[in-house]
């Protein structure tokens, strides 16, 4: 368990490991829920960024000798 600290008025500094785990970035929106006993729950409202640039070109060899339109036409002919 890690501690968070109040920096400025209404500003809370989360521990680095928590921020990293949630992949928080500046400007992301969090929902704050607070119970009467002082329990606070933070929920990430904004979806995490999804970077798919690392998968570019994966599997391209599978389609090396296949014409895209021929493949689509063949698949569609089996629908009826």
* 32-73 pLDDT per residue, tens: 999 999 899 888 886 656 667 778 888 888 888 888 899 999
pTM, to two decimals? 0.47
All residues at 6 or more sequence positions from 31 whose CB lies less than 8 Å from its CB, including other chains: 42, 43, 45
* Domains of the chain with bracketed CATH: 5-44 (2.10.260)
**CA–CA separation, 64 and 31 (whole Å):** 47
Please provide residue 28's backbone torsions phi and psi, each rounded to the nearest 5 degrees: -65, 145
Half-sphere CA count of 57, side-chain side, radius 13 A:
2
Give me the residues paired with residue 44 across strands: 30
* 10-23 pLDDT per residue, tens: 888 889 998 888 88
Please provide residue 77's backbone torsions phi and psi, each rounded to the nearest 5 degrees: -65, -25
């Amino acid at each position: 368990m890690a501690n968070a600290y109040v920096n400025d008025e209404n500003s809370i500094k989360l521990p680095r490991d928590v921020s990293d785990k949630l992949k928080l970035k500046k400007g992301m929106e969090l929902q704050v829920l607070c119970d009467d006993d002082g329990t606070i729950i933070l929920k990430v409202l904004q979806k995490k960024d999804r970077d798919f640039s690392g998968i570019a070109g994966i599997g391209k060899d599978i389609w090396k000798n296949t014409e895209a339109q021929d493949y689509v036409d063949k698949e569609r002919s089996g629908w009826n």
